[in-house]
């Protein structure tokens, strides 16, 4: 049977090929080959041991050939290292690997290249989307999340790789996923799409034997009234025609509550006000006034408006418009 058959190998797997072959993640091709030879002798299709469940044997031998085929091909091994979502084995399993390697070394040619012992393995980061309200974005917040850590299976941690593969407790994975809750602080001034990295506070990485980083992809929920533009927050506030003309003190909704704001007499439609520091991270909040024209008038009001019109010394607001029109036509 051809063990190099590429069509046979899965492109994405949750299986730990290094673990299956009982080699360390930085094993050389020689080490992988030797390990495979041993495994082939014990688990190859020629073995029909009564003590081993046939299905388990087939499954594990398929795993072994998959693992071997992938790890012996530098391109596929690289791809696997990059894409496999497996959590590799822990420090105690590594101690076992060390033992296996030492046992092998005594029978090995001393001139063979030795794999680097102290390769620094980068712990995998955990990315998570975190949705917060605009209020939380402005004020900062605390959030509790569940992180799932792989935890070595006690049933098989001290067993040999091949026995571990047949462990019923963990179904051969060598670990269990265990949930824990963790609380995180988010500073004030978070904008939508921001990335917040909590170093070494993510998921336990079995292969690196340390915690990876946790990266929060921040999503700020849309507010029904307030629009975020960069770090500024914009709101449109309706005012009456009387407030626009006479001035007023009005309440303006902000991300964290209401604040009062002065409307100057004779405020024009669409006028922009800035409220200092009420946006995100010290940016301003922008208030645009929208003058609301009355929708109905009583007879008395109509009379009063007519009287106001007579009293008004306001020039025709269209004069400049007409002038321009004459010049251009």
Please list every residue from 1 through 40 that binds Zn ion, using CB under 5 A.
Answer: none
Q: Which range in 82-90, 94-102, 129-137, 170-178 contacts Zn ion by CB under 5 A?
A: 170-178
Residue number, 145 or 167, with CB nearest to Zn ion: 167
Quote the least distance from Cβ 152 to Zn ion, whole Å: 8
Residue among 153, 95, 113 nearest 32 (CA): 113
What angle is formed at CA 97 by the lines to CA 93 and CA 99, rounded to 5 degrees? Answer: 115
Number of residues binding to Zn ion, judged by CB under 5 A: 6
**287 forms part of the interface with Zn ion (CB under 5 A):** no
CA 234 vs CA 16, 101, 229, 230, 266: distances in Å: 52, 65, 7, 10, 22
Report residue 217 as tokens: 């992809």
Quote the least distance from Cβ 24 to Zn ion, whole Å: 19
Quote the least distance from Cβ 62 to Zn ion, whole Å: 19
Q: Quick one: which of 38, 73, 79, 155 contacts Zn ion (CB under 5 A)?
A: 155
Quote the least distance from Cβ 156 to Zn ion, whole Å: 3
**153 forms part of the interface with Zn ion (CB under 5 A):** yes
Q: Quick one: which of 123, 156, 208, 226 contacts Zn ion (CB under 5 A)?
A: 156
Residue number, 32 or 156, with CB nearest to Zn ion: 156
Query: How many residues make up the chain in this entry?
Result: 329
Q: Quick one: which of 56, 128, 147, 167 contacts Zn ion (CB under 5 A)?
A: 167
Dihedral over alpha carbons 272, 283, 225, 220 (to 10 degrees)? 160
CA 239 vs CA 245, 257, 286: distances in Å: 10, 19, 15
**Helices 54-71, 29-43: inter-axial angle, 10-degree rounding:** 160
Binding residues for Zn ion, rule: CB under 5 A, are 153, 155-156, 167, 169-170
């Amino acid at each position: 049977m051809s063990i190099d058959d590429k069509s046979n190998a899965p492109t994405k797997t949750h299986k730990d090929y290094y673990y299956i072959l009982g080699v360390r993640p930085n094993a050389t091709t020689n080490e992988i080959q030797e390990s495979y030879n041993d495994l082939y002798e014990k688990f190859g299709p020629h073995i029909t041991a009564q003590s081993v469940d046939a299905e388990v044997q087939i499954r594990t031998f398929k795993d072994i050939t998959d693992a071997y085929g992938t790890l012996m091909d530098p391109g596929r091994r690289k791809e696997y290292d990059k894409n496999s979502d497996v959590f590799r084995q822990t420090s105690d399993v590594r101690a076992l690997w060390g033992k296996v390697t030492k046992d092998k070394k005594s029978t090995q040619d001393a001139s063979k290249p030795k794999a680097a012992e102290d390769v620094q393995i980068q712990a995998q980061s955990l990315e998570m989307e975190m949705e917060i309200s605009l209020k939380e974005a402005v004020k900062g917040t605390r959030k509790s999340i569940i992180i799932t850590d792989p935890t070595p299976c006690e049933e098989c941690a001290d067993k040999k790789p091949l026995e571990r593969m047949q462990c019923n407790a963990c179904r051969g994975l060598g670990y269990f996923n265990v949930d824990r809750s963790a609380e995180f602080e988010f500073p004030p001034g978070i904008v939508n799409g921001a990335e917040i990295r909590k170093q070494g506070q993510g998921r336990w990485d079995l292969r690196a034997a340390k915690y990876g980083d946790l990266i929060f992809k921040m999503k700020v929920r849309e507010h029904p009234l307030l629009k975020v533009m960069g770090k500024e927050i914009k709101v449109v506030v309706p005012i009456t025609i009387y407030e626009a003309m006479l001035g007023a003190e009005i309440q303006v909704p902000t991300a964290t509550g209401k604040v009062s704001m002065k409307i100057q007499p004779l405020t024009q439609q669409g006028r922009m006000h800035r409220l200092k520091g009420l946006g995100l991270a010290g940016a301003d909040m922008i208030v645009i006034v929208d003058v609301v024209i009355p929708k109905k008038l009583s007879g008395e009001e109509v009379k009063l408006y007519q009287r106001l019109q007579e009293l008004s010394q306001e020039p025709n607001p269209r004069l400049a418009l007409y002038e321009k029109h004459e010049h251009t036509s």
